[in-house]
Amino acid sequence: MKIIINGNEREFKEDATLQEVLKELSLEGKVMAAALNMEIVKQAEWKSCVLKDLDKLELLDFVGGG
């Protein structure tokens, strides 16, 4: 299935969870927030959040600066 992540299209296995996608992208522990189709997904729900074909996923990491 195709998932659009931060504007880039990627291929993943059918019924992949948000947690599995993060693991495959080597982003576990690096992503602080995730939005699926413009809705925030709490970290406690990442393991059970099943993605669908053409979902739009935004992955965010907070960076400090000044």
For the full predicted model, state whether its pTM sits above 0.85. Answer: yes
pLDDT at 61: 85
Tokens representing 58?
């935004």
Residue 34 near residue 27 (C-beta atoms within 8 A): no
Domains and CATH numbers, the chain: 2-60 (3.10.20.30)
Residue 59 phi, psi (nearest 5): -110, 130
Inter-residue contact 11 to 2 (CB < 8 Å)? yes
- Condensed to tens digits (0 to 9), the pLDDT of residues 3-62 reads 999 999 999 999 999 999 999 999 988 899 999 999 999 999 999 999 999 999 999 987
pLDDT at position 66 is 61
